[in-house]
Amino acid sequence: MKINTDFVDWFRSVAPYVNGFRGKTFVVAFGGEVVADGKFVGLVHDLNLLSSLGVRLVLVHGARPQIEVRLQERKLQTSYVNGMRVTDTDTLQCVKESVGRVRVEIEALLSMGLPNSPMANASIRVASGNFVTARPIGVLEGIDLMHTGEVRKIDAVSIRSRLEQGEVALLSPLGYSPTGEIFNLTLENVAAAAAIALNAEKLIFLMDARGVEEKSKGKSNKLLRELTVTESKELLARAADGSTKISDDVQSYLPYAVQACEGGVARAHLISRHVDGAVLQELFTHDGTGSMISQGPLQTLRGAGIEDVGGILQLIEPLEAKGVLVRRSREVLEMEMDRFVVLEHDCMIVACAAIYPFPDERVSELACLAVHYDHRNAGYGDTLLKYVEVKAKTQGSKKLFVLTTGAAHWFLERGFEEIGIGKLPKEKQGMYNYQRRSKALIKKI
């Protein structure tokens, strides 16, 4: 039987994400356009898959195009202030009608259980209700926004109760006051507030743009796949002073993504609603498909601990199978874990290296340098090499050597020189494997 190795490799690559996402809360926000253009059916299939993997889902929908149609039908005019609709009494009636229709359509689509589809035998229960308490925005730039409001409180306890029962929570862009008033809200405001209140792992915005794209003068659009909160604020400041351009969607969603991260949400994602399977690609691939905003840098370099054994094994086993690295058993790794350093990217080990000092001869060995295949050419190898060089110097070493079968040129380009086996530390000469015929290279540090 022929084994589809590509499928096996892919399935193994997504396993860390599946394990990491189980039991976590994701808030997914999308405009009414997703429902209006029929794209929600495909999104439902992906949401069902996430739910089946143990992800707790909170959906936040918008209804702007549906509201616009209803206003046109009634021949009502509307205006905006800072992207928010001025909601008078007649407009509020159109908002309530439109939001209600969209919510019912979403609930119906989430109830699908068609044979021969990703929703086969699915049983997604939807919980919606008065989870959002709101207050009026009042007067802004001299204009009374009337029934336009902002989130005052999210009933996180009630939502968590539904999520724990395996239900999907559905939030609409409407809020209610303790006096029984109804306020028109923006989906961005509801989504960010819900993500913060629920201490969500992720906040995902689906939009028209493919992600956060920056266009500077004289340059083509550049997709920024990863941004910190600080970098996002700097980008918004450049957009405000006109030195760079970003899409209207990004101007609307990015400030709330920043707000969510500052409020404790681990990651916020801005992705295109036009890409089939965009949510899955963003969550289960290394590069993703859009832009991810985080509280701080995603890259972490640190000493390894016993809990990293599994991650290091997953990283080095493919290279051991090819003969690039010497095989190390789990037992050996556990005993030598204090020799290893790991480089994490978004909580996943993507590179590692080990350092073995020979203090009598004031020299150290760099060993087991490995970088995940999907992260090659990202500079991680250089980062680890510099770290090991500094650490070796602090331990009193004057030189750093390495044994390699296939990466000699990489080390030569970084200042190493090839030497004979007889110039290695005496102890290392006695352990040299003549069958592997590794080349020895050394560098002064």
Tokens standing for residue 117: 């589809």
pLDDT of the residue at 95? 96
CATH architecture of 299-444: 3-Layer(aba) Sandwich (3.40)
Q: Is 98 helix (H, G, I), strand (E, B) or coil?
A: helix
* Percent of the chain's residues with pLDDT above 90: 67
Residue 438 DSSP symbol = P
- 349 Cβ contact partners less than 8 Å away, ≥ 6 residues apart: 308, 311, 312, 314, 315, 342, 343, 372
- Of 132-141, 190-199, 317-326, which gets the smallest average pLDDT? 317-326
Render pLDDT for 129-167 as a digit per residue (tens, 0 to 9).
999 999 999 998 889 999 999 999 999 999 999 999 999
Same fold: 5-294 with 299-444: no
Using CA atoms, how far apart are residues 254 and 235, in angstroms rounded to an integer? Answer: 10
DSSP structure string for 180-206: S-EEE--HHHHHHHHHHHTT-SEEEEE
- 1 Cβ contact partners less than 8 Å away, ≥ 6 residues apart: none
Q: What is the mean pLDDT of the chain?
A: 90
Whether 114 shows a pLDDT value over 80: the answer reads: no
In the chain, what are the domain boundaries? 5-294, 299-444
pLDDT of the residue at 215? 80
pLDDT of the residue at 285? 84
Using CA atoms, how far apart are residues 315 and 329, in angstroms rounded to an integer? Answer: 13
Alpha helices by DSSP H, 225-322: 229-241, 248-262, 278-284, 309-321
Using CA atoms, how far apart are residues 93 and 147, in angstroms rounded to an integer? Answer: 10
pLDDT of the residue at 120? 61
Render pLDDT for 69-105 as a digit per residue (tens, 0 to 9).
999 999 998 888 888 899 999 999 999 999 999 999 9
Q: How confident is the model at residue 286 (pLDDT cuts 50, 70, 90)?
A: confident
Please give the average per-residue pLDDT across 40-67, as a whole number: 92
CATH architecture of 5-294: 3-Layer(aba) Sandwich (3.40)
